[in-house]
Amino acid sequence: MTGVLDSVLKATGAYKFYESRLNSEVERGPIPGHIGIILDGNRRWAQNRSYSVELGHAYGADVVEKLLDWCHELKIRSITLYVLSTENFQRSSEEVQEIVRLIQERLTKLLKDERIYKYRVHVKGIGKFELLPEPLLKILREVEEKTADYDGHFLNIAIAYGGRTEITDVMRSIAEDVKKGTLQPSSITEETISGRLYTSYLPNPEPDLIIRTSGEERMSGFLLWQGAYSELIFMDVYWPAFRKIDLLRAIRTYQKRQRRMGK
C-alpha cells in the first residue's frame, strides 16, 4: 500500500505537499530524543538495479548525510547509526575493505562539514576498534577530539559493533573491579551496567525509537541492553532509498504508540 501511495504522489507531483503535511503532523506530537537506525539493504538495493555492491554502499552513505539535516530540522538530539557490525567482517575481504574505505572517506568529509560545528554535534564511534585499520581509527579519533566539547546534538557511529560484545566488555570490566575489591557483587545494579555501556555518556542513552530498513525484522545485536524498551519500527525500504518521508512516517507511528515501559 505504501508503494502504491508513493507512486501516485510522484505521478501527481503531490509528493512535497504530502511531506509538508506529514511534517506538520509530526511536529505536533512528542519527538523522540534518541533514535537508533539499522542501515540495512545497501547490497540488495544495488543488486535490484544491477549496480555494484560498492555503489549501493555509496548511495547509502549519501542518505546518512541527508539524515543529519532531517534530524536537526525535527529537533532529534541523538542518533545512533549501525554502520558496520562485528559479524560484517565475515563478508568477503573485498567488500569489507570497500566499506572501511567508504567510512574513512565520509568521516574525513564529516570533519570538514560545517553543520557539525554550526549545530555543535558531538560525534563518537562505538565498537571494537581493535578490528579497525589504523587510518580509519585515526580519522575517527580526530573527529571525536574536534567535537568532544559539543552538546547540541549527538551522533554515535557504531563501527565494528556488536551488542553481545558490548555487554561482554561491561561484564569483564565489572569482574575486574570485583577482583580488585573496589566493587562488591551485592552492590551491582542495573545502573552499574548501564553506566559502563558505550552510550552511557549520552543525555538519553536508551533510544526511544529504533528503525530498521530493508524489511528484515530483527535487532541483529544492535543496542541489546539499551533497546529493551525502545519502540521498534521495521520498514520495507532499502536504506539507499530511505527519504525524509520515511523518517516522518516512522515518527508518526511512534507517536501513536503508548509507551508503558513495562508498567
Query: Could you read off the pLDDT of 207-260 as tens digits, one per residue?
Result: 999 999 999 999 999 999 999 999 999 999 999 999 999 999 999 999 999 877
Tens-digit pLDDT profile for residues 115-146:
999 999 999 999 999 999 999 999 999 999 99
Distance in angstroms (rounded) separating the CA atoms of residues 193 and 200:
9
Tens-digit pLDDT profile for residues 20-39:
999 999 999 999 999 999 99
Return the domain boundaries, the chain.
32-256
Q: In this model, does residue 14 exceed pLDDT 80?
A: no
Lowest mean pLDDT among 12-16, 21-25, 49-53, 216-220: 12-16
Helix (H) or strand (E) holding 31: none
N-to-C CA span, the chain: 34
Please count the residues of the chain. Answer: 263
Closest CA to 53 of 45, 62, 65, 61: 45
What pLDDT does residue 53 have? 92
Cell for 148? Answer: 568532544
Q: In this model, does residue 190 exceed pLDDT 80?
A: yes
DSSP symbol at 32: P
Q: How confident is the model at residue 73 (pLDDT cuts 50, 70, 90)?
A: very high
What pLDDT does residue 187 have? 96
Catalytic residues: 40, 88
Q: In this model, does residue 8 exceed pLDDT 60?
A: no
Cell for 235? Answer: 520498514
Mean of all residue pLDDT scores within the chain: 93
Q: Map residue 142 onto helix, strand or coil.
A: helix
Q: How confident is the model at residue 16 (pLDDT cuts 50, 70, 90)?
A: confident
| Residue matched to cell numbers 529493551 | 228
Q: In this model, does residue 2 exceed pLDDT 70?
A: no
Pick the CATH number of 32-256 from 3.40.50.1390, 1.20.272.10, 3.40.50.620, 3.40.1180.10: 3.40.1180.10
Q: In this model, does residue 183 exceed pLDDT 50?
A: yes
Closest CA to 123 of 108, 102, 101: 108
Look up the pTM and report it: 0.92
